[in-house]
Structure 1
Amino acid sequence: MKCFLLSVAIFATVALSCGAEKLHPLSDEFIDAINNKHTTWKARRNFDVNTPMSSIKQLLGVLPRKENARKLPLKIHPEDADIPETFDAREAWPDCADIIGTIRDQAACGSCWAFGAVEAMSDRICIHSDAQTKVLISAEDLNDCCSDCGDGCNGGWPDEAWWYWSQTGIVTGGLYGTTDGCKAYSITPCEHHVDGDLPACGDIQRTPTCKSTCDEGVDLVYKQDRRTGSAYSIAQSVKQIQIEIMTNGPVEADYDVYEDFPSYSSGVYQHTQGDYEGGHAVKILGWGVEDGTDYWLVANSWNEDWGDNGYFKILRGENECGIEADIIGGIPDL
């Protein structure tokens, strides 16, 4: 009997040390486990269960910070401003809502670092020109041509993207197939998700070759079309970030992505379960409170089928997943 009890004890100890079988992050069981915790957000199937997690990791294009990384100047705002409980840049600058509200698609390319940058730059050009200049800054030009920014579709650094804007400039260019700017995005839109009309994304594409010319048929001159501006960072302070957004427009941010994030559907995201996957860059355009939980309002670049029509909310005030630790902006030269 003693031997039997000892064997049971050993088996239980081994089972506990090994833990339960790890759920696949895109499985129904993993999604159900998130929702069963009844936190501040809900999950759903955004990606087909057969999507390799390696493909999702490749969409997370913020590279680890390198040694002796460039440090942008730190901008400090006076903190005497009244901060509203809610703020949405689309509503604050309604004449620029069509620019600010554009959800882009990085497609099968780890170019989020470039998308977060050019989205905020485009918004700020409209805002600071009093909606007299409405252009989309080209993710294609930044992704393909900034050699110091990283490795294009294999990832880059947001601070280097803004430095490139300040030193070299970036031409205009919008979504795939458009002709209202110098260089449109050349990587075909694809379906990151279960439901949708686009072809499946597949493997990450090679970074397109840098071209110092505008697209064929576009009546613009590349060197003359370059837009520039300043580049600076914002302190890890909720109020500093809020004042920057309500004063100058949306900002670029990057943060840590865990296995639960790809299945975000609604609510205020906070890491619930799953392992670290990589770094991702996005655009913060506002904030608010939902059911008593403070959040940042964020635009992703995985097209409008993902999440909440392309947007998500993330916990504000706790530096959730590092979202408040690396905020970048700049003032456009007009």
Structure 2
Amino acid sequence: MKLLLLLFVSINVVFASQDWNAFKEKYHKVYKNSKEENYRKQIFLKNLKVIEEHNKKYTQGLSTYTIGVNKFADLTHEEIYSSSKSSTRREVTTVRSSPTPKFIPRDDVPESIDWRDYGVVTPISNQELCMSCWAFAVVATLEAHVGIYEGRNVSLSQQNLVDCVDPTFTCSQYLDIHALDNTYQYIVDNGGIDLRDSYPVEYYTVGSCRFKSETVGATIKAYGNITEGDEEELKAVVGTIGPVTVTITTDFSWDLYREGVYYNGDCMNTDEIFNHAVVVIGYGSEDGEDYWLVKNSWGTYFGQDGYIKMARNRDNNCGIASIARYPLI
């Protein structure tokens, strides 16, 4: 019996080492020394166990989505969202708000839509480990609206927003609840946002504001606001106007999402309410589950080539309709 147990453990060690080596090769992981690599390996193996246990629930019909190894599998959830766990949420004064026309319900809301089908959704970006999701989400939303209403494909500068919207911002700070309002209002008051080519992204860096009016790539007149928690209004706006920037609450299961419709009954039970900003670019149903089609900014290794389907019509799961904004061009 002891011999069989030893053999079982040895086989598991071999498979674990193969998984670890394959992970390092696929995601080009290089560590500064053996101590760091061993630390990352232990986190990876722990996460691998979480993945296996969750996917067993999926096969048993107890979950609507699967998770899997991606480039974040050697990190903790805290590391993904902040380089400093002791960081506090930014509390900045909301800038003067421009008048936002009230959304008028329409009768022609489609049952499903994917704005990628219209050629207006720009490629997936990667914010890396800087907590600048709000800048990437607003840019992705505005790029899509420029495509819809002006017929132009543009690449706008996230760095312009990172440097200029809030002078107190650092890459290790939590998402502020006013971030979307402040960012959209900045674009209104500033007379636009620069093109990415003229104001390129500098990862992990927040610098002085270097906006140039002569290289503006897009402008907006104002921004719209979804009634807090109203998924029907969010559907109507996404379906008839265009993509919407939203803030959500995530945990490690979200970080490792692979496929299916993501529903997490515990996602709001956390001290880090609304810790990520993303873009709703469509909605539909899959295997009887209504979903929001969401564009993330973690590169194409995340989820389904950079996208995730999140539960719709399930009591505003993960707060997806709580803080939702869209540009008015």
The answer as to 2:201 corresponding to 1:228 is no
In the TM superposition, residue 247 of structure 1 has moved relative to its aligned partner by: 2.6
In the TM superposition, residue 48 of structure 1 has moved relative to its aligned partner by: 5.0
Question: 1:313 corresponds to which residue?
Answer: 309
Question: Aligned partners of 1:89 and 1:327: how far apart in 2?
Answer: 17
In the TM superposition, residue 36 of structure 1 has moved relative to its aligned partner by: 2.1
The answer as to 2:138 corresponding to 1:112 is no
- Pick closer, same or farther for the CA change 1:240–1:74 going to 2, 3 Å: farther
1:101-142 per-position Cα deviation (integer Å, ceiling 9, x unaligned): 41011122110011110111111112111x1x3212210101
In the TM superposition, residue 76 of structure 1 has moved relative to its aligned partner by: 3.7
Of residues 54, 57, 60, the one that matches 1:37 is 57
Question: 1:207 corresponds to which residue?
Answer: 206
Question: Aligned partners of 2:261 and 2:99: how far apart in 1?
Answer: 31
In the TM superposition, residue 240 of structure 1 has moved relative to its aligned partner by: 1.4
- Pick closer, same or farther for the CA change 1:173–1:267 going to 2, 3 Å: same
Structure 2 residue matching 1:265: 3-state secondary structure = strand
Question: 2:240 corresponds to which residue?
Answer: 247
In the TM superposition, residue 58 of structure 1 has moved relative to its aligned partner by: 1.8
1:134-165 per-position Cα deviation (integer Å, ceiling 9, x unaligned): 212210101111126x6142345121111111
Question: Aligned partners of 2:109 and 2:195: how far apart in 1?
Answer: 34
Question: Aligned partners of 2:131 and 2:271: how far apart in 1?
Answer: 13
Of residues 195, 199, 204, the one that matches 1:183 is 199
Of residues 322, 325, 329, the one that matches 1:325 is 322
Q: Share of identical aligned residues, percent?
A: 25
Question: 2:24 corresponds to which residue?
Answer: none
Q: Is the 8 A contact 1:40 1:269 kept in 2?
A: yes
Bigger Cα displacement from structure 2, 41-50 vs 302-311? 41-50
1:226-262 per-position Cα deviation (integer Å, ceiling 9, x unaligned): 3321122111322211221233211100011122111
Q: Is the 8 A contact 1:283 1:299 kept in 2?
A: yes
Could you tell me which runs of 5 or more consecutive residues in structure 2 were left unpaired when the two chains were aligned. 1-41
Structure 2 residue matching 1:35: 3-state secondary structure = helix
- Pick closer, same or farther for the CA change 1:160–1:208 going to 2, 3 Å: same
**Which TM-score applies when normalising by structure 1?**
0.72
1:13-41 per-position Cα deviation (integer Å, ceiling 9, x unaligned): xxxxxxxxxx9796122112222222110
Question: Aligned partners of 2:326 and 2:103: how far apart in 1?
Answer: 13
- Pick closer, same or farther for the CA change 1:33–1:161 going to 2, 3 Å: same
Bigger share in helix: 2
The answer as to 2:116 corresponding to 1:90 is yes
Could you tell me which runs of 5 or more consecutive residues in structure 1 were left unpaired when the two chains were aligned. 1-22, 175-180, 188-204, 213-221
1:23-79 per-position Cα deviation (integer Å, ceiling 9, x unaligned): 97961221122222221100101245432443212289xx85848756675654333
Q: Tell me which amino acid in the other structure corresponds to 2:185.
A: W
Q: Is the 8 A contact 1:74 1:234 kept in 2?
A: no
Question: 1:7 corresponds to which residue?
Answer: none
The answer as to 2:156 corresponding to 1:137 is yes
Q: Is the 8 A contact 1:74 1:232 kept in 2?
A: yes
Structure 2 residue matching 1:31: 3-state secondary structure = helix
- Pick closer, same or farther for the CA change 1:142–1:293 going to 2, 3 Å: same
Question: Aligned partners of 1:206 and 1:101: how far apart in 2?
Answer: 23
Structure 1 residue matching 2:249: 3-state secondary structure = strand
Question: 2:81 corresponds to which residue?
Answer: 57
**Which TM-score applies when normalising by structure 2?**
0.73
Question: 1:10 corresponds to which residue?
Answer: none
The answer as to 2:48 corresponding to 1:28 is yes
In the TM superposition, residue 322 of structure 1 has moved relative to its aligned partner by: 0.4
In the TM superposition, residue 170 of structure 1 has moved relative to its aligned partner by: 3.9
